[in-house]
Structure 1
Amino acid sequence: MVNNFTNSRTEGSHSMRRNGQKTEKYDVVVCGGGLAGFCAAVASARHGAKTCLVQDRPVFGGNSSSEVRVTPHGAAAFHVYAKETGIISELLIEERARNHEPIFENGWTNSVWDMTMYDMAQRTENLTFYLNTSILDVRMAGERKIASVVGYVANAEMEIELLADVFVDCTGDGIVADRAGCEWRMGSEGREEYAEPHAPLQASGDVMGSSLLFKTKDLGSPAPFTAPDWAAKLDNPDFFYKQGRNPNDMRGGYWWIEIGMPWHTIYESEDIRHELTRYVLGIWDWIKNKDPLTKELAANHAIDWIGQVPGKRESRRIMGQYLMTEHDPLNRTVFEDEIAYGGWFLDLHTPGGLLAPTSEHASSEGYDETSSYMVKSYCGPYGIPLRSTIAKDVDNLMMAGRNISVTHAALGTVRVMATTALVGQAVGTSAAIALRHGLALADVPGQAIQEVKQTLLRDGCFLLNTTNEDELDLALKARVTASSQAVCRGSEVKAELQASGKLGHQEELLRQRKGQWIAISEGVLNRVSVCVTNTSDTPQIVEAKLIPVDHIWDYRCEANPALATTELQIKPGTYQWIDWDVQLSEADGLKSGTYVRLDLLANPHIAWHCGDGIVPGQTCAYEMGEGKMRRDWNGPTRSFRVDPPQHAYSPEHVLSGVTRPYRFTNLWRSDAREELPQWLELKWDHQQSIRQIELTFPGSLLWEYHGYAPFYRDPQCPKDYRIEAYMDGGWQELLQVKENYQRHCRYTLAQPVQTQRLRVVIDATNGDPSAAIYEVRCY
């Protein structure tokens, strides 16, 4: 029997009901419906495993839901083109296309996000879900195997026992693992254990706290507020402005409304919730009625929403086959069983939150991106191993989310939700593959990891050290041509800025070394040019270097020996194009299909102007300290010109096996001067039988989620397109797509087609003048 709130298409699960009790059998049971658990369950079900997802709240999403409203963060917050893809990307792209609400940092998530997830769950074959269901017990079959979990469905007086072959603990607190007898850690390892730079000298039970968010509304007229007597009494400006708690936006949010220690984040969560509520009201009272810096700004603002489900950062961490330490993200450890990646900084909040002397380190330093703390905390993108998601003490248990096998210090970066969503998809995929082959979970990293990784890539994910090598992908055997291709001539400066003679942005000043990545395709580079302004009254010298780099996240200032160096002579004046005749070829070490980085060293009198728009795959960074660079303020393209122009967007890039800029652009892009439609063609020497076609388009990669507007559809993404096959002497349409905005699209034909030529014809994009594709696969 199937509950009315479950997906009725999950036929075949064994069910018994009596006196408010029910028993069901699945292949995989995922406990916890935050982003990690949700992605794990959807991935497992998509790969054929009968899957049940159990969530103790009325909505999916965990901390990202409309109940908590924490904006999902990930690698793209710090690294250009590092946006997480796969299931999480499908969800976020869909939410932005549907939602009228802008995404502010925190507190603004509405129910459109909840329903986007609910809709995907309803449409996923093989997936059953139970909301409002708390896990109460775990029943074992021997010491090392879970037989079932027992949950209670709130408001239904229903106890449900779920049997499965594989269980996935995504509860955050590690409830299933704890009940099953797994070893877990909670608190901070001492520095002597793993010599982690961020670890305290002595081990302790300290954990990061939980936050409660709020949102306000501008009413357009004065909105008085009187705090209740039980609200926190806050009267000291130093508590805010000298301790990293800046009430700088009247719309609300404020992740720093955080409390943990001395309360226990699991057993005393209700006490924490109450204290956070007291402080939300007290903080708003300070902003509205006491703070001379904010009273006028907040005069017309009224509280519109206060959360009552704290967003928890840390509790139990379950010990797995491998324990990640902070050395792994800092040193970008290459794992053979890499199944996901991260790129948030090592963000360890001060234990106690509002009750501590200062807020989280970066905030208390005013988010100085060049401080010693930020230099040592900046990391990634780095890989995450499958072994950290497989429990070492129970044979059929995996973890995804903030409870995976990491130290407290490593959790500072691994815990953010976009990263945990990637881990969740990998875990669900691995579980389904293990069941399909009859493998023990512990054997998957050694015996099935290549299948796991290739499957993740095919499903739209990205891995740092794996490319598409799918032997079944017929496209890899094809030759590729296109109707046209764009060339990279550089990035010009906005004409109106040049006419004004004013700086476009203060970040253009060379207060520190800055670098611009340039994709090299020709093996020849005769000249590079930059557009600069000398703000002084005297001639200035700027040292310039051209350095070969391994990829777009190669932030080493001296990554490799420079191919060329010079001193640019810059006279006083605005918006001058300065030429550098470098005369480089392959004989000098210039390699086709790679990036070089053009660096201008520090001179605060010189501004290196940004270009007009973003040239795909050509990004920039600046030196933060200690020989390390980081992404520049929002990942623009600096002004530059190259001679000869570089063919950086050739059609054969759709077979590179990589679906974003990384070691090269990996993108086919049509010539913007040629009108649409534009086409890309695959041609084989022999006839192929093709049933399935999979496309990966550009878009929604450059920035993280909250960088995108309401109803956003990325202009680079093809909107209307056709897939055609050459048969019987002419092109025949196989399918036509209208109004697309998703990045990863998969189509199964009603019948296989026999052809030697296949093409994708792009009739319209969502705004960009060029057609573009990252990958085409055929099966």
Structure 2
Amino acid sequence: MISEPYSPRTRNTKTVRLQADLVVVGGGLSGVCASITAARSGLKVVLVQDRPVLGGNASSEVRLWSLGATSHMGNNNRWSREGGLINEILLDNLKRNKEGNPLLFDTVLLEKVYEEENITLLLNTAVYGVEKGNDDHVKNVTAFCSQNSTTYIASAPLFCDASGDGIVAFMAGASFRMGAETREEFDEGFAPNIDDYGNLLGHSLYFYTKDAGKPIPYTPPSFALKNAEELPRIKNFQLGDHGCKLWWVEYGGRLDTVHQSEEIKFELWKVVYGIWDYVKNSGKFPEAENLTLEWVGTIPGKRESRRFEGDFMLTQKDIVEQRDYYDAVAFGGWAMDLHPADGIYSEHNSCTQWHGKGVYTIPYRCYYSKNIKNLFLAGRIISASHVAFGSSRVMLTCAHGAQAVGEAAVLCRQEDLLPRDVASEEHIGKLQLALNRNGQSIPRIALKDPDDLVKQAHVEASSTLRFSGFSEGGDWKPLKFGLAQMLPLRAHGNYRFVLEVDALEATNLELQLKGCSAPIHFTPDVILDKTVIELRKGRQKIAFETTKPQEQDGYSFFCLMKNEQVRVRLSDDRITGLLTVENKINKAVSNYGRQDPPAGINIDSFEFWTPERRPKGKNIALQITKALPIFEAANIKNGEVRPTPNGNTNAWVAKIEDKKPTLYLKWDGKVNIKTIKLFFDCDYDHALETTLMGHPEEVIPFVVADYRIKDSSGNVLKEINGNYQAINTIDLGHVVSTDGLVFEFSKREDNIPVSVFKISVFE
């Protein structure tokens, strides 16, 4: 029993002091990825999260799907899903939660943090104080946990603000911006008219419904909106929509999205319960009779508040022109996506999205405060203009950049540096190399790893696929849209394509070979060659022989243009680095087949050619008379771990009939080996949304599940079964001296050959 007498003095809560190498404030995907990345390299990390669960907007409290450069597979950014740690998390979620249950995604994140012994996790703990060691350093942060009535004082030489609103950076005095810049400041044609369109993006609140199997009446609360049918955006509503499909239920862009968040939330409650009153009681939705509200969000998903200034500020031209800088550490590819500030009450379209032709890189200098010397920035608060923020704010882009922050913190502790020091020419290469070793895939950064023993090895394979076409399958696809087979072709060569079509009546079919204007994107914006073929009614083989060789290596698009009277034979073969795309519509990301922005806003016009999701999206059963040498075993040495626009698949692919595909690494003499890393094809083209949508597979079918590693004497060093991850890191536990390694892979899918992007070997 505890008994204390009356005290005339106030009592203090329990206080716990924590010392770490890195304190991360904010437990969304960004804070989680920064923390785990640092902890896995030995740093002691304190992760402070003011909510009871991790994940931020991706958590079960908000239930927004996590997206990034793939943009729901609705843009031209092929194979662009973010790599490294966030990809590991997405693949774990797919394995155990392919239906997209947001509660299960909570557990995936919690498990990832829980398993890291170097992380001290503080949930339900809100930072409310910052102490500075001097004018430009944070000394510690003070936070309070409402659930255990404990005050924490966390000290460290390095801090990362991933809190969304930037509570640490704000209290530390870091320079920041809030709202839209003028067009003139950064020459941004897409900068909004503030008086009309508004300064800020608002918050959104979601709800879920379920069928109770019997009539359910509904009496709205007194505060529910009484005229929901008059909302300009009510036209967006379709019965059955729930969760983040209701992203347009948005409000607050005219208010202070930091200090008025509770007011914004209550207004959104009014709207949500008013919409449900309209659905249940207006008589316009009789099919809703048995539906009831299952869940309504209690905290809104916040899009925008403060953005803090780094040594570099990302702007519209960096995104549109795909500008690259020496210190690139992450990439983005979501559209520049701005919303009218009046949200659900606005007469404007719910959002305005303009896409770039390809992914853009984000400089490291965006990820630390230019004023507070030991403070990293992660998440949506990084250094970007309002327009650029419209793209960089989405969660997978934020998480990808946060991995760079976590790795930079490791470098700072190893070499006694501050965040700005890492941006120097002397150190940035070390950071980029550390990131790419773990699958970060920084675009257009050529890095040589001096410690990777594979660079000195001779590579041989049991077989190599020399691609000359796909086998014929039983499915046919009507050309309701233009359909293209993406193929990595070489400059100065002509090609002949043969395929089978079926015409419902005599008609003409236009064929085009399209290319990309620059080897940095997958947008087919150049017609290289074309012809029109007369078809008779019925099935027939047709051929197209190019007459104008393309001028540069790169992915080309063999296009069958739209003709609903024609269907084409498909193949069941699926091969790494090869896929079909259609010139179709994806309204969810403002893709209407092509993009034609207004004059003067400095954004490109182009067509969208996008893939279908499996089990659809099969390849065309075409044959090429000139075999393509695109899958050589030496590709595993080039450092890339996904196909790139310059026309490289970057993968070794075995012949499809090879039942026991094997790779051999041979050195001229014995080498000492302790760690082996393998990089498999996890289909970086798939968006892998974390919640709501669901996916047909729990494992990406291209990933090698079972394999054995042997030394040159035949001793088994490691056997793996049931793998589903893109990156396998094999720690042998001791040094092995050998002049060769043998990798024996098991083929799992009849129509999918074994493939490997990269193997690295370290002492």
TM-score range, shorter chain: 0.7 to 0.9
Q: State yes or no: 1:712 paired with 2:710.
A: no
TM-score w.r.t. the length of structure 2 is 0.88
Alignment CA distance shift 1:393-1:638 (3 Å): same
TM-superposition CA deviations, 1:424-471 (whole Å, max 9, x none):
000111121122112232121113111111111111211111245110
Choose which of 190, 202, 205 in structure 2 pairs with 1:212.
205
Give the equivalent residue in structure 1 for 2:4. Answer: none
Give the equivalent residue in structure 1 for 2:708. Answer: 722
TM-superposition CA deviations, 1:257-310 (whole Å, max 9, x none):
111134321111111111212211222222333363x432x3333222111011
Q: State yes or no: 1:464 paired with 2:450.
A: no
Q: State yes or no: 1:225 paired with 2:218.
A: yes
Alignment CA distance shift 1:129-1:235 (3 Å): closer
Distance 2:406 2:165 in 1: 19
Choose which of 600, 619, 624 in structure 1 pairs with 2:594.
624
Q: 2:706 is aligned with what amino acid?
A: D
Distance 2:231 2:224 in 1: 19
Deviation at 1:703, TM superposition (A): 1.3
Q: How does 1:275-674 map to 2 (within 5 A)?
A: 275-290=267-282, 292=284, 294-296=285-287, 298-362=288-352, 376-446=354-424, 447-491=426-470, 494-497=473-476, 503-504=477-478, 506-507=480-481, 510=482, 515-520=484-489, 525-532=494-501, 539-540=507-508, 542=510, 544-545=512-513, 547=515, 551=519, 553-558=521-526, 562=528, 565-573=529-537, 576-582=540-546, 594-599=554-559, 612=572, 614-619=574-579, 620=581, 622=583, 624-625=594-595, 628-634=606-612, 636=617, 639=620, 640-662=622-644, 663=646, 664-674=648-658
Distance 2:418 2:578 in 1: 44
Alignment CA distance shift 1:358-1:595 (3 Å): closer
Distance 1:643 1:385 in 2: 44
Alignment CA distance shift 1:505-1:114 (3 Å): farther
Alignment CA distance shift 1:625-1:184 (3 Å): closer
Alignment CA distance shift 1:302-1:75 (3 Å): same
Q: 1:76 is aligned with what amino acid?
A: T
Q: 2:681 is aligned with what amino acid?
A: P
Give the equivalent residue in structure 2 for 1:761. Answer: 744
Asked if 1 retains the 8 angstrom alpha-carbon contact of 2:496 and 2:543, the reply is yes
Deviation at 1:20, TM superposition (A): 0.9
Alignment CA distance shift 1:702-1:299 (3 Å): farther
Deviation at 1:70, TM superposition (A): 0.5
Deviation at 1:172, TM superposition (A): 0.5
TM-superposition CA deviations, 1:62-108 (whole Å, max 9, x none):
10011111000111223231111111111111112112x623xxxx5
Report the RMSD for the aligned CA atoms in angstroms. Answer: 2.7
Moved more, 332-341 or 698-707: 698-707
Alignment CA distance shift 1:132-1:411 (3 Å): same
Alignment CA distance shift 1:252-1:131 (3 Å): closer
Give the equivalent residue in structure 2 for 1:234. Answer: 227
Q: State yes or no: 1:246 paired with 2:216.
A: no
Deviation at 1:545, TM superposition (A): 3.2
Alignment CA distance shift 1:580-1:278 (3 Å): same
Q: 1:97 is aligned with what amino acid?
A: K
Asked if 1 retains the 8 angstrom alpha-carbon contact of 2:80 and 2:684, the reply is yes
Give the equivalent residue in structure 2 for 1:368. Answer: none
Give the equivalent residue in structure 2 for 1:81. Answer: 79
Deviation at 1:524, TM superposition (A): 5.6
Deviation at 1:554, TM superposition (A): 3.0
Alignment CA distance shift 1:665-1:54 (3 Å): same
SS at match of 2:387: helix
Distance 1:311 1:279 in 2: 15
Give the equivalent residue in structure 2 for 1:773. Answer: 756
Alignment CA distance shift 1:488-1:287 (3 Å): farther
Q: 1:778 is aligned with what amino acid?
A: V
Q: 2:442 is aligned with what amino acid?
A: L
Moved more, 704-713 or 341-350: 704-713
Asked if 1 retains the 8 angstrom alpha-carbon contact of 2:331 and 2:400, the reply is yes
SS at match of 2:381: coil
SS at match of 1:705: coil
Give the equivalent residue in structure 1 for 2:35. Answer: 41
Deviation at 1:379, TM superposition (A): 4.8
SS at match of 2:526: coil
Deviation at 1:768, TM superposition (A): 6.2
Extract unaligned runs of 5+ from structure 1.
1-17, 363-373, 498-502
Q: 2:350 is aligned with what amino acid?
A: E
Deviation at 1:672, TM superposition (A): 1.9
Distance 2:215 2:385 in 1: 49
Q: 1:506 is aligned with what amino acid?
A: K
TM-superposition CA deviations, 1:711-758 (whole Å, max 9, x none):
70112111121111113xxx1100111211111110111211111110
Distance 1:249 1:335 in 2: 45
TM-superposition CA deviations, 1:44-65 (whole Å, max 9, x none):
1122222111111111111001
Distance 1:165 1:759 in 2: 45
Alignment CA distance shift 1:541-1:715 (3 Å): closer
Q: State yes or no: 1:93 paired with 2:91.
A: yes
Asked if 2 retains the 8 angstrom alpha-carbon contact of 1:534 and 1:570, the reply is no
Distance 2:240 2:570 in 1: 28
TM-score w.r.t. the length of structure 1 is 0.86
Alignment CA distance shift 1:492-1:590 (3 Å): farther
Give the equivalent residue in structure 2 for 1:13. Answer: none
Give the equivalent residue in structure 2 for 1:102. Answer: 99
Alignment CA distance shift 1:598-1:121 (3 Å): same
SS at match of 1:236: helix
Deviation at 1:629, TM superposition (A): 3.0
Q: 2:95 is aligned with what amino acid?
A: A
Deviation at 1:632, TM superposition (A): 1.8
Q: 1:457 is aligned with what amino acid?
A: N
Distance 2:351 2:508 in 1: 38
Distance 2:401 2:419 in 1: 15
Distance 1:767 1:211 in 2: 45
Distance 2:107 2:751 in 1: 30
SS at match of 1:544: strand
Count matched residues. 717
Q: State yes or no: 1:60 paired with 2:39.
A: no
Q: 1:449 is aligned with what amino acid?
A: I
